[in-house]
Chains A and B, each alone.
Chain A
Amino acid sequence: MSRGQKILVTAFAIYAALAGSAMAWAAMTLYGDGLMSVRVHKHQPGGARFSLTVPGSAVRAGLGAVRFIPASAELERATMELRRLGPDLQALAAAIEDCPDAVLVEIEDGRDHVLIEKRDGAFYIQVDGRDADVEVRVPAGLVSMVFETLAST
């Protein structure tokens, strides 16, 4: 292998390593907080099926954008309330993260069936209704992060 080829191969290896690291970093940033998903299925004939998946990092970014909301009396009141609840929100965040897998809430009334469950590190909210079925999946870490962020507002 000539000297020029060696330089070329080395440069390519460095480029590949950097690109790989950047992709890994991007994936970590994007999916590190898990994925939140919402699925809706309407029961009528030809009923719409709707599915939305949002990376947790988008929720984190959305929460970060709260600081850019113009100041108002209502925002001030909300901030004061969050400050008051700060330690309690942090305790709730920790309790949510530590909550073992289980069916937390189940409601059945002949028409609808609602289930809130923690499974495999995520909270599932399932509504099997007469008109539509809805399933929301939120990673427990994301719920905890939201409460942590609100606590530190």
Chain B
Amino acid sequence: MNERRRPRSRTLAIAAALALAAAQAGAQAERWLHVKVEEHSGSRARVSVNIPCSLAEAAVGLIPDHVGSHGRVRIDHAEIKGEELRAFLTALRDARDAPYVTVESDDGNARIWKAGETLHIHATKRGRHETVEVKLPMAVVDALVSGPADELNVAAAMRALAETGAGEVVAVDSDDATVRIWVDDRPETK
């Protein structure tokens, strides 16, 4: 009877060890949101912001009342109606991989497409060097539209961004400045 019990207790011990290891790995995997801005002209300012995603999520909760509440931003006052934006993002989430918006004008070009689990936005300005590149995991888009119809759930999007893992989210490159926003698991230290 004792011999029968032994494998069970061993299994339990292994499961406990795995659970501990998983908990430890989870605790170590604190994601960091990094924002880096470098001006190429004027005072040539350099701005670097590095905050834990959990802190960013908590800070987003403090948005002023006229903008939103509890980390959700109202979009009814914007040029685009909240419901329209939400419908577009929801449709995009369920759609297959393809280019969805292509704009070519005298001012510049813009493209929005979906590839795998990522939503891509690419825009360039004509006549001068200016490129905007956005890569949003679809989980973040899902989280953005997870609130009421006229709101964007920024806090949930921040949480989703932390959960989906490392990577560059926004890159802006122009003659005036370079902007990069990315997520990883490395804090910036001196």
Contacts and interface: CB of A to CB of B under 8 A. Distances in A.
B187 A105 contact: no
B152 to A, nearest CB: 16
Q: How large is the interface on A (under 10, 10 to 19, 20 to 34, 35 or more residues)?
A: 20 to 34
A92 B58 contact: yes
Contacts of B50: 102-105
B24 to A, nearest CB: 15
Interface of A: 81, 84-85, 87-89, 91-92, 94-96, 98-111, 117
Query: Across chains A and B, which 4 residue pairs bring their CB atoms closest together, nearest first?
Result: A88-B61, A102-B187, A109-B45, A95-B58
Contacts of A98: 52, 54
Interface in B42-74: 43-52, 54-55, 57-59, 61-62, 65, 69-71
A61 to B, nearest CB: 25
Given A88-B70, A98-B52, A101-B189, 5 more contacts: A99-B55, A100-B187, A106-B46, A109-B43, A109-B46
B188 interface: yes
B48 A84 contact: no
B189 A103 contact: yes
B190 interface: yes
Contacts of B48: 103, 105-107
A96 B62 CA distance: 14
B52 A111 contact: no
Contact of B55 (A84, A87, A95, A108): A95
Contacts of B51: 99, 104
B30 interface: yes
B47 A106 contact: yes
A95 B52 contact: yes
Contact of A102 (B47, B62, B189): B189
Given A88-B71, A104-B49, A104-B51, A110 B58 contact: no
Contacts of A106: 46-48, 188
Contacts of B187: 100-103
Contacts of A107: 45-48
A103 B187 CA distance: 8
A27 to B, nearest CB: 31
B54 A95 contact: yes
Question: Which among B55, B57, B62, B71 has the highest number of chain A CB atoms within 10 Å?
Answer: B55
Contacts of B59: 92, 95
Contact of A105 (B43, B49, B54): B49
A110 to B, nearest CB: 5
A121 to B, nearest CB: 15
Contacts of A103: 48, 50, 187-190
Nearest to B47: A107
B46 A100 contact: no
Contact of B58 (A81, A91, A104): A91
